[in-house]
Amino acid sequence: MDSKTVPTFLVFLNSEYEPCLGTLIHKQWVLTAAHCFLPFLEINIADSKESFQNKIGNLRPMLTVQHPDFSWDSAEHDLMLIKLNHPQKLNDQVKLVVLPNTTDDRRGEKCTVSGWGWEWKNSNTEPDMQLNQTVFWFPNDDCKESPVREFPVKITENMFCAGSSLESTHTCKELAAAPILCQNQLHGILSWSAGCILRGDIGYYTRVSHYTDWIHKVIHSN
């Protein structure tokens, strides 16, 4: 795990139910998981690598757009776009992530998952630890099914799995919907995990390259 290189595109989506991560893909748009949808969200961008105690405030969701094919009884199409109430000023602390320019399979490649978590001693609602984890993009056949919300979810061509090992399972507290970058491009948004992705456990990701047309269409029409 590496905590020295701090991503500048992570957004903290806070709610009473389950806080999530968002990824800044446009000055005014955030990409996250559709299962993070809630009527009321507090949105923060950290301007410090230590924690979200120092944050860029006054952000509100102007519009939330779940993928039209997402449903709660499946993990497929687990993407949502959030339009911020005002565009962000890009600088050393706030930058955009690049969407993938190819749908090529990245199996076997090294990728990086970035996220925020909690130290065990921290009981606050806001995370205090930022980590990057190097993982491998595994073939879907190696991760065929996973128990999620007490029922099996099949992996489709719109998903992929990644981790540092197929065996390990850890316990931790971390934010959902973490982004995974391969070759410095955003290839996935975490949909679910049975362990701790920031410690290398297998995560199951929505394959962003299959949705770039939808993403651009939503942004340009709103």
State both tokens at 68. Answer: 């039209």
Burial label, 12 (beta-carbon count in 10 A; 0-12, 13-18, 19+): buried
Of the candidates 26, 35, 67, 187, the residue annotated as catalytic is 35
Q: Closest Cα partner for 205 from 14, 21, 19?
A: 21
Rounded to whole angstroms, the Cα distance separating 54 from 47 reads 6
Q: Closest Cα partner for 104 from 136, 146, 137?
A: 137
Q: Are 77 and 206 in contact (CB under 8 A)?
A: yes
Q: Which residues contact 66 (CB under 8 A, 6 or more apart)?
A: 34, 37, 79, 80
Please tell me whether residue 135 adopts helix, strand or coil conformation.
Answer: strand
Q: Which amino acid would we find at residue 207?
A: R
Active-site residue 216, yes or no? no
Of the candidates 67, 77, 78, 187, the residue annotated as catalytic is 78
Give me the torsion for CA of 7, 20, 139, 211, rounded to 10°: -90
Active-site residue 73, yes or no? no
Residues recognised as catalytic: 35, 78
